[in-house]
Structure formats: structure tokens, C-alpha cells
Amino acid sequence: MHNQQFVESNDELVNFGSPGVQGSKADKLVEACGVFGIFGEECQDVTRLTYYALYALQHRGQEAAGIAVADGQGIKVHKGPGLVSDVFDRQIIASLKGKIAIGHVLYAKEGKTPSMNAEPLLCNYLHGSLAIAHNGCFTNAKELKSKLAGKGSVFQAGIDSELLANLLAHYNGQGIVGALQKAMQEIIGSYALVIMTDRELIGVRDPYGNRPLCIGKLGDAYLLSSESCAFEVLGAELVRDVEPGEIVLINEKGLHSFHCDNHVERALCVFEFIYFARPDSDIDRINVMEARRAMGRQLAKEKPVDVDLVIPVPDSGIAGGLGYAEGINCVFEMGLIKNRYIARTFIRPEQSEREIGVRLKLNPVTKLVKGKKVGIVDDSIVRGTTSKKIVQMLRNSGAKEVHMLITSPPVIAPCYYGIDTSERNQLIAGQKSLEEIREYIGADSLSYLSLEGLFHALGQRGGFCAACLNDQYPIDIPSDRKEEAKEEKKCRAQQD
Ligand code: SF4
């Protein structure tokens, strides 16, 4: 394989690839957003419950947060850049009264302003007000936008929710469900939407089921959430997942289910299980913690190594590390300690203080690793910069051997469905062979889980999108990226 195209970056000083330290240059794939909704009763403080739920979903986006509430007179929204704790205080929450609320946490891609793109998006249509919160990406957004602009629509925010609002306005003679069904025929891409009118809460999942969305119940109140961990936090129960292509409408008469006409193969994002989702969430009836542990056990079956102890990269490698240690019957130790108090205001270390910068974020327990053969487990390698640092750190602490164990297949292609991936030329496995990656990160050995092994660990053979792992895109990608993707694929085939 050729490796001249691989673009290294030294941004890992600060972006150590954990949720909470995001940025398009983080050495991880980065989830785009989290959504939540509640149709409550008069006695329930829906804003406060939404606020707590957004805290539980904070790992899905840290650039902006917002809540919209319907009080019977109209919809009020409060949103802004920053963490949920930066955007809301007691007074703001107390000022947002009502019995329907939706919330959103945002990860803004590079070049997008969090304050401009913060959601929920509030708009007026023929029958009143509407607020929309979206997770995902419309891959035909460009085409939809020019079509709607040709019909007189004006766009300000440049986000997919604005496109949807215009589509709904276009079909507003059909009622909200009819308009959504029409819009779903036109939209291509991934989406989990939580929408509210003055009287209803609506949840929509794309026909591929690419983005997760589930339904919960708290007393008589219905809840919608990107992940079920938000229900657990509120003491609510998980009822079920919204089905691919399903629209659920919740009003005073209860929950009503509708479907769109698009019949396509299910393609749930497999990376939810590898890295994005919280381990205490269940997605499409699979528990994330159990899935990650099973991936570790499967890797142990496929690639057992002779080590004295297994260490996870915190926090993303913990569940997989436990599984791997079980699989090879080896000691599991928290041999790397993560500093949880590095905030956004952290003063970036000077180039000369590189080592300090790295160790401030993650530091090995020298007593545990000195003189040992160490198996270090992480969920994925994206650019390799983090893995390289970790291996070096363990060697500096006296580890005799360092074996890198990855509980997912190599990330070889970018995601076009709303996940912030590096460009293809920054994905180390898209550019280098296994041996070249091992050499680059400086490990004694490097092992990845196979794609078949990943599906086996998930207990299902199909129904997943794994495009970033197998370069096969189940949903049409944006037209302006097609040529580039074709060229890159050709290049890759020649290299292989
Ligand atoms: S390409 Fe598919 S599996 Fe990979 S991150 Fe995107 S949606 Fe998830």
C-alpha cells in the first residue's frame, strides 16, 4: 500500500479523542446531536425534565443546547452556544412553562457557528407554530434547497431543520402527518427528528433507521429520546424504539403511529455501538455495554495475545477491555488514568511542553505497567495520533511490550450521514496497511476485530450501516461528494 497521502496532524495535544473534547480534528468519529421530547401533564415540569435529559445526552453534542416549550398560547425557545449548564439557569428554566417540550444538544461541524445552528428551530406555518430538533444529515440538502429556493423559500440558518420546515410549509394542506409523509419521500439521508406543535409532540425516524430514537413513559407522560439513558436518569421506562420510517404523534389522546412509503433496508449506524452511545443505553433492543463487551470477547477469540495484563483506554475502551480480558482470561487493570477536569478553558500547552500536555490528559500507572507485557484496548483508531501517544507513554513507563487491541474493524472511509469524520486522507487505515499502522503507532502488535466478528458480537448479521468500515454506503451520499468518493475508491482498489 502507498502511504504518501496520509496527512498527520499534531492536534492531539488537546483533542484526546474523548466526548467532551470535540472538534473535527479530534482523533475519533464525532456524533452530531442528541434530541429529546416530552408530552407531559400540567403538574409535570417538562422544562426541568428536558434539562436533565439533555445532561444525560450531553455526550452527543457540546457546542450548543436548546429547549422549546409549548404553553398553550404558543412556543417559547431558549438556546445558545455551550454546554447545557452554560445555556440554562434556574431563572430561565422557571420562565419556560408548559406541558410539551423538546430539547437539543448540538455538535457543530468545522466552519459552522454553534449560535447560528443551535436548535430547536422555531417557525410558523399555516396552522400555528412548530419547533424542530434534528439529529442526522439530509444528503440531498443541496438539491432540496435549490428546489425550494426556486419556489420562493428563504434560508437563514443553513441547517437541515430549516429545509424540513420549508418542506412542511409547502405541504401544509395535508396536516402535519401528511406533510411529514410527503417530506420523507423527498428527503434522502439520516434523521431522528423531534417536532412539536402547540398541541402535539412528534417523533420521526428515517426509513433506514440510521439514527436512533426511542419512546419512553413517565407516569402518563410520553417521552422521546436519542438514547434510552435519558429515560433511566428521569426514572422513566423505555417503551420501544421508533421504527425505521415511523412517525409517532403524541397528543392528549395518546400515541399514534404512522409510516412513510419508503421501503428500504434497515441501516442503523453501527458506530453507535462502537463508540457514540452511552453504555447504559439500549438501541434497537441491544444494550450498548453488553455489545461492547461482546466485541472485546470476540476480538479475544479472533486475536488472542500473550500479555500480563489488559488495560483499557478510558473511557471508550473500558467495556471492550473487560470483554477482551475475560476472553483471554487475563488480569484487567485501569492502568491509564484520565484527568476529568480538563475544561474548554484549558490553556493549550506550548510545543515545548508537549509531554506535559499529553500526560495532563492521560497518565499511566507506572507501578502497574513497568516490566509487563501490556494489551491496551481501544474502541477504534481514526487517525492514529492518540494510539501513538499512548504506546509511547506506556513504553516511557517501562512496559516491556505494548500490544494494541482494537474492538472494531479499521475505519477506512468517511461518514456522509452527519458524523464528523476526518477526510479520507487523514484516516490512517484508509491509507496505510496493518503493518504500516503498527509501525506508525510503535506497538509490538496491532489487532482489529473483523467485520463479521463485529456483527457476530451484535448478534445480527445485517441491518447496519458500516460504511466507514467497509466503504459501502447504504444511503445515497451527497452529489458533490460522489465523484471524489468514486476516485478514492478506485485509488484504494489499486493500492490493495
Ligand atoms: S458511515 Fe455509517 S456506521 Fe459509519 S459513522 Fe456514518 S452512519 Fe455510522
Same fold flag, 33-266 and 290-339+353-460: no
d(CA 93, CA 109): 28
Evaluate: CB of 466 within 6 angstroms of ligand 1: yes
> Using CA atoms, how far apart are residues 215 and 68, in angstroms rounded to an integer?
19
Decide if 214 is catalytic: no
Q: What share of the chain is helix, strand, coil (3-state, %, to 5)?
A: 35, 25, 40
For the chain, the distance separating the N- and C-terminal CA atoms, rounded to the nearest angstrom, is 6
- To which residue does cell 499529553 refer? 358
204 lines ligand 1 (CB under 6 A): no
For atom 8 of ligand 1, the residue with the nearest CA is 269
Q: Residues 6 or more apart from 160 whose CB is under 8 A from it?
A: 134, 136, 137, 138, 141, 189, 191
Nearest Cα to 221, choosing from 202, 205, 241, 236?
236
Q: Say whether the peptide bond before residue 212 is cis (omega within 30 degrees of 0).
A: no
Question: In testing the pocket of ligand 1, which one of 419, 421, 471 has its CB within 8 Å of the most ligand atoms?
Answer: 419
Amino acid (1-letter code) at residue 249 = L
Relative to beta strand 237-241, strand 121-125 is unpaired
SS3 164: helix
Using most ligand atoms within 8 A of CB, pick from 270, 283, 469, 476 the residue to mutate for ligand 1: 270
Q: Which atom of ligand 1 is nearest to the CA of 414?
A: 1
d(CA 204, CA 165): 14
DSSP alpha helix (H) spans, 312-470: 318-328, 354-361, 366-369, 385-396, 428-431, 434-441, 451-458, 467-470
Q: Which fold has domain 290-339+353-460?
A: Rossmann fold (3.40.50)
* Phi-psi label, residue 463: left if phi above 0, alpha if psi -120 to 50, beta otherwise: left
- 495 is written with which cell numbers? 493500492
Annotated domain spans of the chain: 33-266, 290-339+353-460
Whose Cα sits closest to atom 7 in ligand 1?
A: 269
List b or e across 157-185, with b for residues whose CB sees 16 or more CB atoms inside 10 angstroms.
Answer: bebbbbbbbbbbbbbeeeebbebbbbbbe
* CA 371 distance to own-chain centroid: 38
Strand ranges for 282-329 from DSSP E: 282-283, 286-287, 309-312
Parallel, antiparallel or unpaired: strands 268-269 and 221-225: unpaired
- At the topology level of CATH, where does 33-266 sit? Glutamine Phosphoribosylpyrophosphate, subunit 1, domain 1 (3.60.20)
Q: Which residue type does 435 have? A: E
| Mean pLDDT (10-residue bins), the chain, 496 residues | 44 38 55 90 87 96 95 92 95 94 85 75 85 95 89 78 91 90 95 96 97 96 98 97 98 96 93 96 96 98 98 95 98 94 69 72 94 97 92 96 98 89 83 96 98 95 92 89 70 64
Mutating to test ligand 1, I would choose from 30, 188, 208, 415 the residue with most ligand atoms within 8 A of its C-beta, which is 415
Alpha-carbon distance of 179 to 229, in angstroms, equals 31
pLDDT of residue 493: 64
Put simply, whether the predicted model's pTM sits higher than 0.75 gets the answer: yes
Strands 268-269 and 464-465: parallel
Given the residues 33, 137, 260, 465, select the one marked as catalytic: 33
**Cα separation, 17 vs 6, whole angstroms:** 19
Q: 190 CA to middle of ligand 1, Å?
A: 10
- CA 328 to CA 348: how far, in whole Å? 40
495 C-alpha to ligand 1 centroid (Å): 23
In this prediction, residue 81 carries a pLDDT of: 94
